[in-house]
Amino acid sequence: MIAVSDLEKSFGDHILFRGASFRLNAGERYGLVGGNGSGKTTLLNILAGDLPASAGTVSMPGDVRLGVLRQDQFLHSDEPVLDVALMGNEELWRAMAERERVLARSGEHFDADRFSALEEIVERHDGYTAEARAAAVLEGLGLPARILKRPLSNLSGGFRLRVLLAQVLCGAPDALLLDEPTNHLDILSIRWLEKFLRGYRGPAVVISHDHRFLDNVATQILDIDYLAVTRYPGNYTRFLTAKAAERERREKEIAQREREIAHHRRFVDRFRAKASKARQAQSKLRLIEKKAEALEPLPQTSRRYPVFRFGEVRPSGREVLRIRGVTKSFGENRVLHGVDLVVARGDRLAIVGPNGIGKSTLLNVMVGRVAADAGTIEWGYETHPGHFAQDPADHLRTPKRTAEAWVEQYCDGKGRGFARGQLGRVLFSGDDAEKRLETLSGGESARLVLCSLMVRQPNVLVLDEPTNHLDLEAIEALVDGLRAYPGTLVFVSHDRWFVGRLANRIVEITEEGITDYRGTYEEYVHARGDDHLDVDQVVLRAREGRRRRRGGGRGSAPGARRLSAWQRRRLEERAGELAAQVEAAEARVAEIEAVFADPAFYAGASPGEVRRLEEERAGRIEEVAALTGEWEGVVGELDDT
- What was the pLDDT predicted at 582? 80
Higher pLDDT, 572 or 371: 371
Higher pLDDT, 327 or 617: 327
The pLDDT confidence band at residue 54, using thresholds 50, 70 and 90, is very high
Span 485-496, mean pLDDT?
92
Quote the CA–CA distance of 462 and 173 in Å, as a whole number.
44
Q: How does pLDDT run across 243-302, given as a tens digit for each residue? A: 888 878 877 877 777 777 676 667 666 665 555 555 666 676 666 666 665 555 666 666
- What was the pLDDT predicted at 113? 83
- What was the pLDDT predicted at 285? 65
The pLDDT confidence band at residue 230, using thresholds 50, 70 and 90, is very high
Quote the CA–CA distance of 260 and 540 in Å, as a whole number.
63
Span 15-26, mean pLDDT?
94
Quote the CA–CA distance of 446 and 435 in Å, as a whole number.
14
Span 355-379, mean pLDDT?
91
> What is the residue-averaged pLDDT of the chain?
83
- What was the pLDDT predicted at 546? 41
Q: Coil, helix or strand for 573?
A: helix
Q: Fill in the DSSP letter of residue 145.
A: G
- What was the pLDDT predicted at 197? 93
Q: How far is CA 56 from CA 19, 21, 46, 59, 293, in A?
A: 8, 9, 11, 10, 29
The pLDDT confidence band at residue 525, using thresholds 50, 70 and 90, is confident
Q: How does pLDDT run across 584-641, given as a tens digit for each residue? A: 887 887 787 677 666 666 566 676 676 677 778 777 877 776 777 677 677 767 666 5
**Torsion angle of alpha carbons 577, 85, 183, 72, nearest 10°?**
-90
The pLDDT confidence band at residue 537, using thresholds 50, 70 and 90, is very low
Quote the CA–CA distance of 165 and 159 in Å, as a whole number.
10
Higher pLDDT, 567 or 232: 232
Share above pLDDT 90 across residues of the chain, in percent, rounded to a whole number:
39
The pLDDT confidence band at residue 370, using thresholds 50, 70 and 90, is very high
Q: Fill in the DSSP letter of residue 356.
A: T
Higher pLDDT, 147 or 266: 147
CA atoms within 13 A on the CB side of 445: 20
**Nearest alpha carbon to residue 324 among 344, 334, 339:** 339
- Please tell me the least confidently modeled range out of 84-93, 144-153, 205-214, 451-460: 144-153
Q: Residue 411, Cβ neighbours under 10 Å: how many?
A: 17
Q: Coil, helix or strand for 31?
A: strand
Q: Fill in the DSSP letter of residue 436.
A: B
- What was the pLDDT predicted at 539? 42
**Nearest alpha carbon to residue 403 among 453, 445, 466, 456:** 445
Q: Residue 453, Cβ neighbours under 10 Å: how many?
A: 23
Beta bridge partners of 231: 222
Q: How does pLDDT run across 298-321, given as a tens digit for each residue? A: 666 667 889 999 999 999 999 999
